[in-house]
A = this chain, B = another copy of it.
């Protein structure tokens, strides 16, 4: 069998993994694409991404892009993503992964939008379950965090759809880059007193983590809120604006107070989800937490706060694959399905 391309088509990023017989680690490629604004670019970005990895005749797809608000419904979003694959790769019918842990051809997937929407966490957890049969997988991406319990080698997530997962604590809509600061905190500490923040997307968590040194400029792969650059100073100016100030009004120490406050609050968001999942599992809850994603450092801090033993998925599958687990996961899973036992 030839190469397989695994795709995780998100609303803000396109991630692809290419595996070939005998290669333990996939080749990875990631491209930012603000789909809600430029849905028409999806076919060309898919084609370019595939070409940059060397292409493949067999493709495995998972997506969350159907949630982007350029699509009126998930049904429309799923159809549009699959249309983009047809347009980019007319000769290939991709296999689409679902929350039931199965692949179906694209033609069938179109009829099952609620099953193939937002199934990427299931692909990741299924692959991780073979390496860590008892673990909480915490994958913090640019935008969202998944907390998936694996017990006795089985994925025991309570929620299957996004709304159900937002209720169960298994999906926390917070991430390392795109999350608006105003979605994480209502107020910060400023000069020793509580200060409300602006309800504007003046700064995001990428600015917080860049300011604190937890990411570097090249890791700030999404657009900046104000269209300015990715230097620490520019991130600081954006953070100052969250309290309606600027760098003439507040200084670097005060910016650090703001950034630290927001970073702590974000870790608390993950901890709250972790505790909800742990409470539900009770005595059978794993004590091991496997961290992955661009925001693995956030997952790690949450796991430490919750008293879990941290394992880094990148030690098991390589840094590139651990950064974009679902893309690599669907490639591995399809390979396993298509390879004769």
Residues of A within 8 A of B (CB): 36, 67, 69-70, 72-75, 114, 118, 143, 161-163, 166-167, 169, 171-175, 179-180, 182-184, 190, 193-202, 225-226, 228, 237-238, 241, 243-250
Contact = CB atoms under 8 A, between A and B. Distances in A.
Q: Which of A143, A241, A246 has the most CB of B within 10 A?
A: A246
B118 A163 contact: no
For the complex of A and B, 3 pairs with smallest distance between CB atoms = A162-B244, A183-B199, A69-B226
A77 to B, nearest CB: 9
Secondary structure type dominating chain A contacts: loop
B114 A249 contact: yes
Give the oligomeric copy count. 2
B190 A238 contact: no
A229 B201 CA distance: 22
A250 B163 contact: yes
Given A69-B226, A243-B166, A248-B73, A197 B182 contact: no
Contact of A201 (B67, B180, B197, B238): B180
A190 B166 CA distance: 10
A62 to B, nearest CB: 16
A69 to B, nearest CB: 4
